[in-house]
């Protein structure tokens, strides 16, 4: 027990006085922080909206079905690698622009530089008109049609699908239902076992899983019925609460720490732009996502049904690489790693990235670990026949 702070007459100091005294001692540090904040403020006040652009790598829309588009990226390497094209599929909870945040933090660019032909799915902006779209529509119809298009453009030969987060779950389900389309399946931060292994969770891991399981079916119905959609604002707030102090301090201490570094501030603003652009999730698909997957864990139990067919993950026949984040607050490690139980050992690889959910794509470290690892895996396992 530490000694109690006392007044000069020996009486114990009041809690409020102790706090005031402590404040006096940190005043010089507060002043120092103020100077740094002013430096950052100066840069921020000079930044125009157009300086904060994301997803600028040139591409062309090559396929469209309802609001869903597929873009093909223009090559950046002189020689095309002898591997199948890669179709990247993000989830519906955020935007695919995260994989091309800025020139030096872009999965798309890293793949293009390696000579890989890159396609990306854009789900568009679902509105209440799209509230009745369900998992059949998204997995079988939309994603299935996008993959069919890329396969057709590849002379009918199978291609590699890289599914991220919810898009990874979609890709895994489609790979099980239509294995003939897949030359390879790459997943990143994708939930497979939605319950995971709670006994292995570190503090803060698996909150989302517990939170959703604490709701009953009526709660989930009410959330979705009120808006017809799962509001992006709500999912954004839940994601922010997973890292409480970071979320509370990023606009004060976080900005102060940037200390007027223009490149770092622009990077920060690009991330903010991406975070703020969180679409609403179509209601019926969200209902299935929360009830059948998060609550009932139907994918691993083999009870998840898409277009009338049960998804059996053991039907995945292509090489698989599974990338997960070691400090992922959103998707617990055990929820992603569970895929290993369904794929033959000689066709399954993993990369455990030392970072958080989004850090897998936007951190400086990820450019080497994840992008290089993926390119290496594609090169080793998927030489185009």
Q: What is the DSSP string of 312-369?
A: -GGG--S-EEEEEETT-SSS-HHHHHGGGGTS-GGGEEEEEESS-TTHHHHSHHHIII
Return the number of the residue (142 or 162) whose C-beta is nearest other proteins. Answer: 142
- Give Cβ neighbours of residue 46 (< 8 Å, ≥ 6 apart): none
Residue 232's SS3 state is helix
- Give Cβ neighbours of residue 196 (< 8 Å, ≥ 6 apart): 206, 209, 332, 333, 334, 335, 338
Tell me how far, at minimum, the Cβ of 147 lies from other proteins, in Å: 14
Instruction: Write out the binding residues for other proteins, residues 47-76 only, by CB under 8 A.
Output: 65-66
Tell me how far, at minimum, the Cβ of 262 lies from other proteins, in Å: 23
Answer yes or no: 165 catalytic: yes
Contact 231, 286 (CB under 8 A): no
Count of positions on this chain that bind other proteins (CB under 8 A): 47
Separation between Cα atoms, residue 19 and residue 56, nearest integer Å: 49
**Choice from 2, 50, 79, 276 touching other proteins (CB under 8 A):** 2
Return the number of the residue (133 or 374) whose C-beta is nearest other proteins. Answer: 133
Instruction: Write out the binding residues for other proteins, residues 233-252 only, by CB under 8 A.
Output: 241, 243-246, 249
Residue 187's SS3 state is strand
Query: Taking the CB of residue 178, how many other CB atoms lie within 10 A of it?
Result: 19
**Choice from 75, 115, 124, 228 touching other proteins (CB under 8 A):** 228
Site string for other proteins, 252-281 (x = CB under 8 A): -x----------------------------
Tell me how far, at minimum, the Cβ of 189 lies from other proteins, in Å: 20
Determine if 125 is a binding residue for other proteins (CB under 8 A): no
DSSP 8-state class, residue 278: -
Tell me how far, at minimum, the Cβ of 37 lies from other proteins, in Å: 14
Tell me how far, at minimum, the Cβ of 1 lies from other proteins, in Å: 7
Tell me how far, at minimum, the Cβ of 375 lies from other proteins, in Å: 34
Contact 306, 171 (CB under 8 A): no
Tell me how far, at minimum, the Cβ of 81 lies from other proteins, in Å: 30
In this structure, what token pair is assigned to residue 86? 């890669």
Q: Which of 146, 165, 318, 335 is an active site residue?
A: 165
Separation between Cα atoms, residue 248 and residue 24, nearest integer Å: 23
Contact 160, 183 (CB under 8 A): yes
Please, what is the Cα angle at 28 between 22 and 29, to 5 degrees? 80
Instruction: Write out the binding residues for other proteins, residues 274-313 only, by CB under 8 A.
Output: none
**Choice from 122, 137, 280, 328 touching other proteins (CB under 8 A):** 137
What Å distances lie between residue 355 and 53, 97, 306, 351, CA to CA?
24, 19, 33, 12
Determine if 209 is a binding residue for other proteins (CB under 8 A): no
Tell me how far, at minimum, the Cβ of 76 lies from other proteins, in Å: 34
Query: Taking the CB of residue 333, how many other CB atoms lie within 10 A of it?
Result: 21
Determine if 114 is a binding residue for other proteins (CB under 8 A): no
Separation between Cα atoms, residue 344 and residue 156, nearest integer Å: 26
**Choice from 203, 308, 346, 385 touching other proteins (CB under 8 A):** 203
Determine if 352 is a binding residue for other proteins (CB under 8 A): no
In our burial notation (b when 16+ CB lie closer than 10 A, e otherwise), range 104-124 reads: ebbbbbbbbebbbbbbbbbbb
Determine if 133 is a binding residue for other proteins (CB under 8 A): yes
Region near other proteins per CB under 8 A, out of 14-22, 37-45, 316-324, 335-343: 14-22
Query: Taking the CB of residue 356, how many other CB atoms lie within 10 A of it?
Result: 19
Return the number of the residue (60 or 218) whose C-beta is nearest other proteins. Answer: 218
Determine if 326 is a binding residue for other proteins (CB under 8 A): no
Catalytic residues: 165
Q: Which residues bind other proteins (CB under 8 A)?
A: 1-3, 5, 13, 15-16, 18-19, 21-22, 25-26, 28-30, 32, 65-66, 128-133, 137, 141, 203-204, 207, 210-211, 214-215, 219, 222-223, 225-226, 228, 241, 243-246, 249, 253
């Amino acid at each position: 027990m530490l000694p109690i702070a006392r007044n000069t007459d020996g009486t114990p100091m009041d809690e409020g006085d102790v706090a005031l005294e402590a404040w006096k001692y940190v005043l010089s540090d507060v002043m120092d922080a103020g100077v740094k904040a002013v430096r950052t403020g100066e840069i921020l006040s000079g930044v125009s909206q157009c300086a904060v652009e994301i997803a600028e790598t040139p591409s062309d829309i090559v396929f469209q079905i309802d609001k869903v588009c597929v873009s093909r990226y223009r090559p950046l390497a002189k020689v095309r690698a002898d591997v199948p094209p890669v179709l990247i599929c993000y989830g519906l909870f955020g935007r695919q622009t995260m994989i091309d945040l800025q020139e030096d933090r872009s999965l798309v660019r890293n793949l293009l530089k390696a000579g890989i032909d890159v396609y990306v799915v854009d789900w568009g902006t679902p509105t209440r008109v799209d509230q009745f779209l369900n998992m059949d529509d998204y997995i079988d119809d939309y994603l299935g049609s996008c993959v069919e298009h890329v396969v057709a453009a590849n002379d009918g030969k199978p291609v590699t699908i890289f599914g991220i987060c919810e898009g990874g779950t979609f890709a895994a389900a489609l790979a099980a239902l239509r294995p003939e389309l897949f030359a390879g399946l790459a997943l990143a931060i994708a939930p497979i076992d939605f319950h995971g292994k709670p006994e292995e969770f570190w503090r803060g891991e698996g909150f989302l899983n517990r939170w959703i399981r604490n709701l009953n079916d009526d709660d989930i119905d009410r959330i979705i019925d009120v808006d017809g959609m799962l509001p992006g604002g709500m999912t954004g707030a839940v994601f922010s609460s997973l890292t409480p102090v970071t979320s509370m301090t990023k606009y004060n201490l976080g900005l102060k720490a940037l200390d007027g570094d223009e490149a770092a501030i622009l990077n920060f603003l690009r991330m903010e732009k991406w975070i703020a652009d969180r679409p609403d999730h179509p209601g019926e698909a969200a209902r299935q996502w929360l009830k059948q997957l998060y609550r009932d864990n139907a994918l691993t139990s083999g009870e998840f049904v898409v277009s009338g067919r049960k998804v059996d993950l053991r039907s995945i026949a292509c090489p698989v690489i599974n990338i997960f984040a070691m400090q992922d607050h959103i998707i617990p490690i055990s929820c992603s790693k569970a895929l290993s139980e369904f794929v033959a050992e000689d066709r399954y690889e993993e990369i455990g990235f030392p970072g958080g959910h989004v850090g897998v794509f936007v951190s400086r470290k990820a450019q080497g670990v994840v992008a290089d690892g993926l390119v290496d895996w594609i090169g080793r396992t998927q030489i185009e026949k």
